[in-house]
Copies of this chain bind each other. A is one copy, B any other.
Amino acid sequence: MGAWGKREDMIVYEADPYNAESAPDALASRLITPIDSFYSRNHGAVPVIDPAGWRLRISGLVERDLELSLADLHQFTPRTLTATLQCAGNRRAGLIRVRDIPGEDPWGPGAISTAEWTGASLAEVLRTAGPKPGASHVAFCAADIAPEADPPQPFGGSVPLRKALADEVLLAWAMNGHPLPPLHGGPVRVVVPGYIGARSIKWIERVTVQDHPSDNYFQATAYRLLPADADLRTTGPGAGLSLSVLAVNADILCPGDGAALAPGRADITGYAVSGDGRGIARVDVSTDGAQTWHQAALGEDAGPWAWRHWHTVIKVPPGRTEIIARAWDTAAAVQPESPAQLWNPKGYANNSWARVHVTAR
């Protein structure tokens, strides 16, 4: 694993496969998350890949198959992009408080992080291969083996060809200016800004241009939004909504839920993010149970694929105070109010209002 990826303040749900949430303070302190604070969501062991022997195979509905070494990939125009990745299970803890979700980790606000990714534009690589008429999806397949898949298989997934040909999708070999560490997908991972993290496939080895979405377990069965009353014992591949583009979301990073504060003025910091390259237009904060809202100050705008930090100061009276925040994106989409109304059997896509309770004495 090298020097990267396992800071002591990470909130670790599983050691193997390594699944760990970023510490809220680490996320709050910088727009770009340091590599060793970046969240980790894995379905199998980190594969050991010799960068010198690594090859990327591009095939399927293309005019010419490609097999690229890392040196070949470096021949494409390098692009650097600030992009936030968010796990579909980010903020699941808020759903679990409504009703238990057995077998799924209770991610808090930190299954999200932001990095500067450097790599080749997937679009440029695909144009070199030449998508054939009828191509409509681009599937990715990794080098790992995920034992929890049914049947066990490498991690995979796909995005529509239209997205794959957009400027912002990268085959990334660097993260924050460093060679991509194995824990975060090195030597090369896909970065699909604005989509659930599961589509930014680590340890990428195969890209297949095809006329249908991926039938990999992690797209056809996992990472799907089911109605609240769906029975997981009887839902098979293709049920529900295949999670892809992210809806507007936000959470409070500091103070944490349950924090004890001194009465008086308190700094509140959080993040807000949306998909589709939508910006964040406004973040509202309330301390009176959503009767009135005031607008937080938005932090640096690092482009359409990055989160925005936000900050405000509230007055905390002695006793218990609930702090609520909600974000609006540039499409005037606002977070929905209640996690109870978003509850779903796999605990995905909780973008309900952010709420923390603090006590001042």
Known A227-B293, A282-B227, A336-B336; contact A276-B331, beta-carbon cutoff 8 A: yes
Closest to A248 in B: B333
Residues from chain B with a CB closer than 8 A to the CB of A227 are 282, 284, 293, 295
B349 in contact with A225 (CB, 8 Å): no
A313 at the interface (CB under 8 A from B): no
Bound-state CA distance A273–B335 (Å) is 17
A331-356 vs B: 1/0 string, CB under 8 Å?
11111111001100000110100000
Q: Is the interface of A mostly helix, strand, loop or mixed?
A: loop
Task: Indicate if A330 sits at the interface (CB-CB under 8 A).
Answer: yes
Decide: B229 and A331 in contact? CB cutoff 8 A: no
Judging by beta carbons under 8 Å apart, are A333 and B247 in contact? yes
Closest to A286 in B: B341
Q: What chain B residues lie within 8 Å of A276 (beta carbons)?
A: 245, 276, 278, 331
Interface string of A241-273 (1 = CB under 8 A from B): 101111110000000000000000000000000
Across the interface, do A243 and B290 meet the contact criterion of CB distance under 8 Å? no
Q: Given known contacts A225-B328, A229-B292, A295-B227, is B245 in contact with A278 (CB within 8 Å)?
A: yes
Contact of A275 among B284, B290, B331, B349 (CB under 8 A): B331
Q: B281–A331 contact, CB under 8 A?
A: no
How many A residues touch B, CB cutoff 8 Å?
Answer: 36
**Most chain B beta-carbon contacts within 10 A, residue among A228, A275, A333:** A333
The residue on B at minimum CB distance from A194 is B331
A 294-351 contacts with B by CB, 8 A: 295, 328, 330-338, 341-342, 348-349, 351
Q: How many copies does the complex hold?
A: 2
Verify A290–B331 contact, CB threshold 8 A. Answer: no
A3 to chain B, nearest CB (A): 36
Would A338 and B341 count as touching, CB distance under 8 A? no
Q: Contact at A335–B336, with CB atoms within 8 Å?
A: yes
Best-surrounded residue of A243, A248, A278, A336 (most CB of chain B within 10 A): A336
The residue in chain B whose Cβ has the minimal distance to the Cβ of A224 is B332
CB-contact partner of A241 in B246, B282, B338, B342, under 8 A: B282
A188-246 at interface with B (beta carbon < 8 Å): 225, 227-229, 241, 243-246
Q: Within 8 Å CB of A338, what residues of B?
A: 337
The CA-CA distance from A278 to B244 in the complex, in Å, is: 11
Residues of B within 8 A of A334 (CB): 247, 336, 341-342
Chain A positions near chain B (C-beta within 8 angstroms): 225, 227-229, 241, 243-248, 275-276, 278, 281-282, 284, 290, 292-293, 295, 328, 330-338, 341-342, 348-349, 351
* 22 A–B contacts, CB within 8 A, in A order: A225-B328, A227-B282, A227-B293, A229-B293, A241-B330, A241-B332, A243-B332, A244-B331, A245-B276, A245-B278, A245-B330, A245-B332, A247-B331, A276-B278, A276-B331, A332-B348, A332-B349, A332-B351, A334-B342, A335-B336, A337-B338, A337-B341
